[in-house]
Amino acid sequence: MTTTNTVISSNFIQNIINEDLKNNKNNSRVHTRFPPEPNGYLHIGHAKSICLNFGIANEYKGQCNLRFDDTNPSREETEYVESIQEDVKWLGFDWDDRMFYASDYFEQIYDYAVQLVKNGKAYVCDLTAQQMREYRGTLTEPGTESPYRNRSVEENLELFEGMKNGQFADGSRVLRAKIDMSSPNVNLRDPILYRIMRAEHHRTGNTWCIYPMYDYAHPISDALEGITHSICTLEFEDHRPLYDWLINALDMENRPQQIEFARLNVTNMVMSKRKLRLLVEEGLVDGWDDPRMPTISGLRRRGYTPEAIRDFCERIGIAKSNSTVDIAMLEHCIREDLNTKALRAMAVLRPLKVVIENYPEGQVEQLEIENNPEQPETGTRTIPFSREIYIEQEDFMENPIKKFFRLAPGQEVRLKSAYFIKCEQVIKDEQTGEIIELRCTYDPETKSGSGTSTRKVKGTLHWVSATHAVKAEVRLYDYLLLEGEQEVQEGEKDSKDDINPNSMEKLTSCMIEPSLANATPEKRYQFLRNGYFCLDVKDSTPELPVFNRVVGLRDSWSKSQKS
Ligand code: ATP
Ligand code: MG
Q: Please, what is the angle between helix 78-90 and helix 44-59, to 10°?
A: 60
Ligand nearest to the CA of 235: 1
**Does the C-beta of 324 come closer than 6 Å to ligand 1?**
no
Ligand 1 atom with least separation from CA of 263: 28
* Cα angle 512-513-514, degrees, rounded to a multiple of 5: 115
User: Active-site residue 292, yes or no?
Assistant: no
Residues 142 and 45 in one domain: yes
Helix H or strand E encompassing 427: strand 420-428
**Domain identity same for 366 and 439:** yes
Lowest mean pLDDT among 283-287, 305-309, 558-562: 558-562
pLDDT-derived band of residue 481, with 50, 70 and 90 as boundaries? confident
Nearest ligand to the C-alpha of residue 47?
1
Query: Both 317 and 377 in a single domain?
Result: no
CA distance 156 to 124: 6
Is 458 found in the same domain as 479? no
Residue 74: pLDDT band with limits 50, 70, 90: confident
Pocket test for ligand 1, best of 13, 43, 49, 71 (most atoms within 8 A of CB): 49
> pLDDT class for 484, splitting at 50, 70, 90?
low
538 is catalytic: no
Q: In this structure, what CATH number is given to the domain that contains residue 528?
A: 2.40.240.10
Contacts of 443 (CB under 8 A, 6+ apart): 419, 420, 421, 422, 453
For the stretch 541-562, pLDDT in tens is 999 999 999 999 988 777 777 6
Asked, for residue 237, whether it belongs to a domain, the answer is yes
273 lines ligand 1 (CB under 6 A): yes
Residue 268 lies in a domain: no
**Is 205 part of a structural domain of the chain?**
yes
Tell me the CATH number at 241: 3.40.50.620
List Cα–Cα distances, 264 to 47, 86, 97, 283, 486, in angstroms: 9, 21, 29, 26, 13
For ligand 1, whether the C-beta of 48 sits within 6 Å is yes
> 423 with 438, same domain?
yes
Averaged pLDDT of the chain: 94
Q: Which of 67, 273, 275, 301 is catalytic?
A: 273
pTM: 0.94
Phi, psi dihedral angles at 371 (to 5 degrees): -80, -35
- Is 224 in contact with 105 (CB distance < 8 Å)? yes
Residue nearest to atom 27 of ligand 1 (CA): 45
* Residue that finishes a domain, picked among 202, 229, 261: 261
User: Are 496 and 352 in the same domain?
Assistant: no
Average pLDDT over residues 155-165: 98
Q: Are residues 209 and 115 in the same domain?
A: yes
Amino acid (one-letter) located at 100? F
Among 206, 240, 261, give the residue marking a domain's end. 261
What's the rounded Cα separation, in Å, for the pair 305 and 334?
Answer: 7
Do 1 and 27 contact (CB within 8 A), yes or no? no
The runs of H, that is alpha helices, within 373-456 are: none
Inform me whether the pLDDT recorded for 7 exceeds 90.
no
Res 494: pLDDT: 56
Q: Which amino acid is at 558?
A: S
Domain check: are 20 and 126 in the same one? yes
The whole domain housing 449 covers 347-462
At residue 496 the predicted structure's pLDDT band, cuts being 50, 70 and 90, is low
Q: How many CB atoms lie within 10 A of CB 408?
A: 20
Where does a domain end: 416, 433, 462?
A: 462
The answer to whether residue 77 sits within a structural domain is: yes
Spatial separation of the C-alpha atoms in residues 352 and 390, rounded to whole Å: 5
Nearest CA residue ID for atom 9, ligand 1: 36
**Active-site residue, selected from the candidate residues 121, 255, 263, 277:** 263
pLDDT bin (cut points 50, 70, 90) of residue 175 is very high
Same domain, 288 and 355: no
Q: How many domains does the chain have?
A: 3
Measured distance CA(301)–CA(537) in Å, rounded: 7
226 occurs within a structural domain: yes
Are 77 and 157 contained in the same domain?
Answer: yes
DSSP element (H, E) containing 383: strand 380-385
Question: Looking at the structure, do residues 29 and 140 belong to the same domain, yes or no?
Answer: yes
Residue 354 φ then ψ, to 5°:
-130, 125
Query: Averaged over 312-341, what is the pLDDT?
Result: 94
Highest mean pLDDT among 2-11, 183-192, 495-504: 183-192
User: Taking the chain, what is the end-to-end CA distance rounded to the nearest angstrom?
Assistant: 52
The answer to whether 545 touches 535, Cβ cutoff 8 Å, is yes
CA distances (Å), origin 210, targets 132, 195, 200, 438, 536: 18, 5, 11, 74, 44
Specify whether 302 is located in the same domain as 356: no
Find how far residue 173's CA is from the centre of its chain: 39
d(CA 63, CA 53): 9
Asked about 37 being catalytic, the answer comes back as yes
Q: Examine the pLDDT at 491 and tell me if it is beyond 50.
A: no
Q: Is 131 exposed, middle or buried (0-12, 13-18, 19+ CB in 10 A)?
A: middle
Give a yes or no: residue 525 inside a domain. Answer: yes
Q: Of 233, 259, 320, which is best to mutate to test ligand 1, by the most ligand atoms within 8 angstroms of its C-beta? A: 233
Radius of gyration of the chain (CA): 31
For the chain, the 3-state helix, strand and coil shares in percent, each to the nearest 5, are: 30, 25, 45
On whether residue 7 sits in a domain, the answer given is no
pLDDT at residue 4, as a whole number? 53
- State whether residue 302 is helix, strand or coil: helix
How far CA 272 is from CA of 36, 221, 245, 268, 491, in Å, comes to 13, 24, 29, 13, 11
Q: Is 2 a domain residue?
A: no
Is the distance from the beta carbon of residue 67 to the nearest atom of ligand 1 less than 6 Å? Answer: no
Beta 323-325 vs 264-266: how paired, if at all?
parallel
Q: Which residues pair with 345 in a beta bridge?
A: 527
